Amino acid sequence: MAGSNSKKINITLKVWRQKSAKEAGQFMTYEMKEVSTDASFLEALDQLNEKLITKGEDPVTFDHDCREGICGTCGFMINGNAHGPQKSTTVCQLHMRTFSDGETLTIEPWRAQAFPVIKDLMVDRSAFDRIISSGGFVSVDTGNAQDANCLPVSKPEADAAFESAACIGCGACVASCKNASAMLFVSAKVSHLALLPQGQVERNERVDRMVAQMDEEGFGACSTTGACTAACPKDISLSNIAKLNRELLFSTLLRREAAEGDGV
């Protein structure tokens, strides 16, 4: 917005350019003149692309859609920080007023084996969809539900479930983790449903299947350093991971007990 503090700054961008997953990538340097501090980071990239197009060059490809911080489509590293330096902010909501005149910013895609680069800053996060389809749901067909108020849920529990459900699936947690672990993402979904009465029936099977799928996708192990939660634009808490570990332990014990039979 053209607020009273609006001004123009010059920025140097070092952007990761990679034509496809098969080709090698490299950093290219672009000088950006007269960027409005009221522009969002993606609008500054739009401005760069507009210039590249008029010069006949290939514009920088990046994923983005709602540009209001909720769809989870955008995301890349700025100077090594997922979604840039501002806390609790997706890169589409990051504004240029965060930066100072003359700064150099290095931009690169999420780096993870399970998120192969498609082009430039765009990566393939379909692994997340496969994890959800392995159990991130309540198996209820349309048309079977009882009245919504038949089953009260205490406000603290409902609020806690909401906090976990607020994950937008952007992948910043994976990109920020030295092991490229997806534990924050998976644990947010597991906690969301485990906290609600509706999620109880499939609780054990859910955590087993989702964790197995996560491993199969090639995400790394969690070492609980908390880099994920620090980078998360929706402040998903590390306690979700503790919850997931408890859920998994419980379900593993149950499975073992079932396998050993009644004689135990």
Site for other proteins in 173-202 (CB under 8 A): 192-193, 196, 198-199
Which of 18, 91, 114, 125 is the binder for other proteins (CB under 8 A)?
125
Q: Which amino acid is at 204?
A: N
Provide the 8-state DSSP code for 57. P
Shortest spacing between CB 256 and other proteins, in angstroms:
25
**Beta-bridge partner residues of 105:** 13
**Closer residue to other proteins, CB minimum distance, 37 or 176:** 37
CB-based burial of residue 28 (10 Å sphere; 0-12 exposed, 13-18 middle, 19+ buried)? middle
152 binds other proteins (CB under 8 A): yes
219 binds other proteins (CB under 8 A): no
Measured distance CA(39)–CA(17) in Å, rounded: 23
- Helix, strand, or coil (residue 231): helix
Closest Cα partner for 107 from 27, 170, 53?
Answer: 27
Which of 15, 99, 134, 240 is the binder for other proteins (CB under 8 A)?
134
Which of 29, 145, 224, 256 is the binder for other proteins (CB under 8 A)?
145
Measured distance CA(218)–CA(48) in Å, rounded: 34
Measured distance CA(173)–CA(220) in Å, rounded: 12
81 binds other proteins (CB under 8 A): no
* Residues ≥6 apart with Cβ < 8 Å to 126: none
Shortest spacing between CB 117 and other proteins, in angstroms:
11
206 binds other proteins (CB under 8 A): no
24 binds other proteins (CB under 8 A): no
Which of 13, 82, 91, 168 is the binder for other proteins (CB under 8 A)?
168
**What's the CA angle centered on 83, arms 78 and 84, to 5 degrees?**
45
Q: Which amino acid is at 132?
A: I
Shortest spacing between CB 112 and other proteins, in angstroms:
15
Size of site (CB under 8 A) for other proteins: 86
Stretch of 99-107, 142-150, 224-232, 252-260 contacting other proteins, by CB under 8 A: 142-150
**Closer residue to other proteins, CB minimum distance, 67 or 246:** 67
What is the 3-state secondary structure of 180-209? Answer: CECHHHHHHHHHHHHCCHHHCCCHHHHHHH
54 binds other proteins (CB under 8 A): yes
Which of 24, 26, 102, 155 is the binder for other proteins (CB under 8 A)?
155
